Amino acid sequence: MRYVLKESILENGSWVSRDLMDLGDDPARFIIYPGGKGYYFSPELEEILEAKGVEYHAEELEDVFLPFLRHDIRRVVEMFSHRQSAEMRARQASVSDAELSEHHLELHGFDKRRLHFLRFGRIDNGGLDARPWKFLKVLFHRSRDEVEHVIEGMETHLRSHELKTYLYAAFNLQSYFQGHLLKHHPIGLDPEKLDACYVDEICQLNRDRRFFTGVREHEADSLHRYLQKYVVLYFDSDFGSPRLDPSFYKEFVNRRKAYAQAAMAGRSLHQDEALTILGIAREDLKSMSQDDLARHYRRIAKRAHPDRGGDHEDFIKITEAYEVLRCRLP
């Protein structure tokens, strides 16, 4: 492993990165410890940056060299690491609403979706392009190299069971499953189709010239190093626990409101039949609340759902029976 200190610069209308200094295989050699918890950077490092006309703040160098600080000192610094550099704060504060909209359009969708998941942990990114979002400002005025560096640093905080879900959202794989009940719960989707869609998406991204704007050397017939890690992470990871979260059930019911209303209009199912279908005794129904009935229905509907090997007609009867009994409860 070798490290290179770089900066993003605007060149011919595009942000590119330029090499400032080869740090070798041990950037820690540029950190000097005078004693105690203090440290400063080698005069050689500062002289090279000054000679190349680089404007920077001490906080920026601290951010860059943080991973290479002595462990006991790094722990102290990390306690106060929730601040942005003075340069970045000034850069972002100066962005007007018009500039925010302009930069928002310039950002690649893959970058938006990655940052969205890393910030909020959500698969559903349907409203991401609806308006400019301030949380995306952290990617403004950065070359592709620096964007990847920023996002990679954030990816290190993902837990192992989140990795594949993160890639599912980042590569917008839910677009291949529009209308599918489990499009936001990829663990329940056809894994072979999902794998094929993922390979297709990563190959398309590898050929996307807009994504590689400012990257001087890239051959589309070989996978770029920015994307190679995502192949490994996807195929070496699982979606984690198969437990479905409560949002699944909320989405399940909301998606079928229209069906439920239509079923109510022409229903031929009687209460006794509904009780039998759901396996509820008449006396038990009297003591149940709407929430109790909903929980009971969800347990049965989950097992009977066609996507889990259940019978389609049985699933419809279960749903209709639930609607019949739900209308009988206060």
Same domain membership, residue 100 and residue 81: no
Contacts of 155 (CB under 8 A, 6+ apart): 118, 166
Three-point CA angle 271, 296, 302, nearest 5°: 110
Q: What is the pLDDT of residue 128?
A: 83
Query: Helices (H), strands (E): how many in the chain?
Result: 16, 4
Same domain membership, residue 66 and residue 108: no
Instruction: Report pTM.
Output: 0.66
Q: What are phi and psi of 255, to 5 degrees?
A: -65, -20
Q: What is the pLDDT of residue 316?
A: 83
**In a domain? residue 240:** no
C-beta separation of 238 from 164 below 8 A: yes
Same domain membership, residue 268 and residue 218: no
Same domain membership, residue 278 and residue 190: no
Q: What is the pLDDT of residue 259?
A: 46
The closest alpha carbon to 251, from 213, 176, 305, belongs to 305
Q: What is the pLDDT of residue 298?
A: 85
Q: What is the pLDDT of residue 94?
A: 60
Same domain membership, residue 72 and residue 174: no
Number of domains in the chain: 3
**In a domain? residue 67:** yes
Strand, coil or helix: what is 39?
strand
**In a domain? residue 250:** yes
Contacts of 76 (CB under 8 A, 6+ apart): 37
Q: What is the pLDDT of residue 86?
A: 45
C-beta separation of 104 from 133 below 8 A: yes
Same domain membership, residue 226 and residue 304: no
Q: What is the pLDDT of residue 210?
A: 93
Same domain membership, residue 207 and residue 170: yes
Same domain membership, residue 186 and residue 119: yes
**In a domain? residue 90:** no
**In a domain? residue 113:** yes
Domain end: 209, 235, 261, which one? 235
Domain end: 44, 63, 85, which one? 85
For 179: left if phi > 0, alpha if psi spans -120 to 50, otherwise beta; the answer is left
- The domain of 27 spans 3-85
Q: CA-CA distance, 117 to 162, in Å (whole number)?
A: 10
Cβ-count burial of 50 within 10 angstroms (0-12 exposed, 13-18 middle, 19+ buried)? exposed
* Chain position carrying tokens 């490092």: 45
Same domain membership, residue 78 and residue 189: no
Q: What is the pLDDT of residue 175?
A: 92
Same domain membership, residue 229 and residue 171: yes
Contacts of 269 (CB under 8 A, 6+ apart): 317, 320, 321, 324
Provide the residue-wise pLDDT of the chain in tens; the chain has 330 residues. 899 999 999 998 889 999 999 999 999 999 999 988 889 999 999 899 999 999 888 888 888 899 999 999 988 887 765 544 444 555 555 667 777 777 788 899 999 999 999 999 989 887 787 778 888 888 988 999 999 999 999 999 999 989 999 999 999 999 999 888 888 889 889 999 999 999 999 999 999 999 999 998 888 889 999 999 999 999 999 987 655 555 555 555 555 554 444 444 445 578 888 889 999 988 888 888 888 888 888 888 888 877 677 777 888 888 888 888 887 776
Query: Tokens for 65?
Result: 């060299």
**In a domain? residue 27:** yes
Same domain membership, residue 166 and residue 282: no
Q: What is the pLDDT of residue 245?
A: 53
